[in-house]
Amino acid sequence: MSDSVRVRFAPSPTGHLHVGGARTALFNWLFARHHGGRFVLRIEDTDVARNRPEYTQAIYAGLRWIGLDWDEGPDVGGPHGPYLQSQRADRHLAVARELLALGRAYECFCSQRPADDDENDDEPEAVAPAALPCTCAALSDADKTEARARGPAAIRFKVPPGQDLVVDDLIRDRVTFPKETVGDFIIVTSDNRALYNLAVVIDDHDMAITHVIRGDEHLANTPKQQLLYDALGWTAPRFAHIPIILNAQRRKLPKRDGATSLNEYEAMGYVPEAVVNFLALLGWSPRDNREVLTRDELIKLFDVDGVVKHPAIFDTTKLGWMNKEYIKSQPAGALADRLLALMRSHPNAAGAAVGSVDGGAAIASLDRTYIERVASLFHDRVRTVIDVFELGSYFFTDGVITPTE
């Protein structure tokens, strides 16, 4: 594969970076680095009610914590910007008007009701329902004029009749959607807001994305997106839908559960190298079935042909084992550095681990030499960094005991 590979990670800033999103970002990043391509970060910040600027910063921080860098994005720029979706609204509406002019879309004056499943890009439906019946495509010019006087129109894409829709997916192979499951769908709301399927097609095209690697909850949106590409005369990217992540009870990991965010795992004392290794194996494995892999090895070995179709299980026991292996493989000095970093980034977590009432302030005042001496005592025993504080809490309270060599 050539060095023209371009992939993207396009999260919505509605919360901290979830492990599912982090896995998606990692797979895209590994694919880009494996093929010598470009990794683009696009922030889909059009959900005004739920977006928060601090969550955009949290996404940046989460990606950087696991060592992912991006070649283009809102904070680093690039030739295909803007990379904030909210700044692309005029472009989205211009393309919608182009579809109207081409006769591939029409004004919709149906009474107010929820838009199709594509309106909420954060939680797309698992199965694409047929669009509700709409007769607006058959309205006369006089009827349209009368309807416009009553209020603004939405814009609905006109699905060509008479054929099943086929998605050739790099992971799931050929997936067929019966024609009756995809009816004419809304692409712009009556308040002039482009919906997910239109916006993502335009943005991916404008950013020259060659491969869309994303969670399989988006598979149901793909036939609609292919129809939009065809109508606009654009070449669609290759699609690869990675398997859903389930917890030990075989239930979907909730996106807004704090215990499934990278920020929470950092606070619990997991090290980023272990988290990256663990996430890489959620739905993918190398041909030799090794489990402990360095970042360079992951880049060398990763490709989508090793990604499975069935759900991946998030096994916290395995993550703990892997975290312990990474801690043991590095010297006590490295563990001391991680302890100091944890004190700075999550002082309350460190303080709570030793029963401190000052939010960890006393711990943060300790010098590195002392911290390393404590770390050396527990280096081979701890599963997480925070375990040092818990197992050796007496070394971090009003010092009656001093660790010896």
Q: Are 316 and 375 in contact (CB under 8 A)?
A: no
Task: Write out the DSSP string of 323-353.
Answer: HHHHHHTS-HHHHHHHHHHHHHH-HHHHHHH
Hey, how many other C-beta atoms are within 10 angstroms of the C-beta on 348?
Answer: 11
Strands (DSSP E) contained in 128-164 are 154-157
Alpha carbon distance 405, 394 (integer Å) = 17
Look up residue 86 and give its two tokens: 């909210």
Alpha carbon distance 300, 180 (integer Å) = 43
Q: In sequence order, which residues have a C-beta less than 8 Å from that of residue 352 and are 6 or more positions away? A: 360
Q: Which residue has the tokens 């993550």?
A: 319
Task: Write out the DSSP string of 197-217.
Answer: HHHHHHHHHHTT--EEEEEGG
| Torsion angles phi and psi, residue 82, rounded to 5 | -75, 155
**Is 252 designated active site?**
no
Q: What are the residues facing 240 on neighbouring strands?
A: 213
Amino acid identity for residue 59 in this structure:
I
Task: Write out the DSSP string of 107-122.
Answer: EE-PPS----GGG-SS
Q: Helix 222-232 crosses helix 89-101 at what angle (to 10 degrees)?
A: 70
Amino acid identity for residue 68 in this structure:
L
Q: In sequence order, which residues have a C-beta less than 8 Å from that of residue 59 and are 6 or more positions away? A: 11, 13, 16, 17, 43
Alpha carbon distance 68, 263 (integer Å) = 15
Q: In sequence order, which residues have a C-beta less than 8 Å from that of residue 249 and are 6 or more positions away? A: none
Q: Which residue has the tokens 């809304």?
A: 186
Q: Which of 144, 179, 255, 300 is catalytic?
A: 255
Q: How far is CA 226 from CA 142, 161, 164, 255, 378, in A?
A: 33, 15, 12, 27, 55
Q: Are 262 and 24 in contact (CB under 8 A)?
A: no
Alpha carbon distance 36, 200 (integer Å) = 24
Catalytic residues: 255
